[in-house]
Amino acid sequence: MELLVWIIFFVIFFAIIATYALGGWLAAPWVPLWKNDIYRMLKVAQVKPDEKVFDLGAGDGRFLIMAAQEFKAQGVGFEIAVLPYLIGCFKIYIKGLSGRIKFKYRNFFTENIDQADVICLFLTPTGLVKLKTKLEKETKKGVRIVSYAFPIAGWTPVLVDKPSEKMGKIYLYQR
């Protein structure tokens, strides 16, 4: 029986580590942002009530939760790392936001993003390059794309926000 417990433990542990590695390899490792940076990104994107905010690589859902609570937006998030996804599901449920947020355990590269009004990104430069074609093909006219820390190569932002030397840059694009 003890051996079975250890086997189950290692399978779960390996699944958690493997999904973190997959997320990092596909677009970015999970690095949570501070609440003030999330708020700043949502303000820069000028999120309005009932708009659909998509978070690609949603981690533990903190973008979506703030978008729903502070801006009264609807949220759609995709996360491929199992532990942050489960934490996000729990937080969304506990805060009573299940009706405003759809949180999916999926690879955002294979998901439809054409209904987004705002798309939030905190990806590596390599992840942004991989995503660029999808954004160009699938997003509707007028969508606002906000990227933390890294620009989207080849695109000209309509705004770059960096209020102080210690704060990260936020790039706003409009398609």
**pLDDT, tens digit, for every residue of 60-102?**
999 999 999 999 999 999 999 989 999 999 999 999 999 999 9
76 φψ region: left (φ > 0), alpha (ψ -120 to 50), beta (else) = beta
Spatial separation of the C-alpha atoms in residues 34 and 166, rounded to whole Å: 13
Give the integer Cα–Cα distance in Å for 23 and 16: 11
The CATH number for 164's domain is 3.40.50.150
Structural domain tally of the chain? 1
How many other β-carbons are positioned within 10 Å of the β-carbon of residue 56? 27
Mean per-residue pLDDT for 28-45? 89
Q: With 70 as the cut, is the pLDDT of residue 160 above it? A: yes
Domain range for 16? 2-174
Task: Judge contact between 33 and 122, C-beta under 8 A.
Answer: yes
The reported pTM is 0.88
Task: State the chain's mean pLDDT as an integer.
Answer: 91
Mean predicted confidence (pLDDT) in 115-122: 97
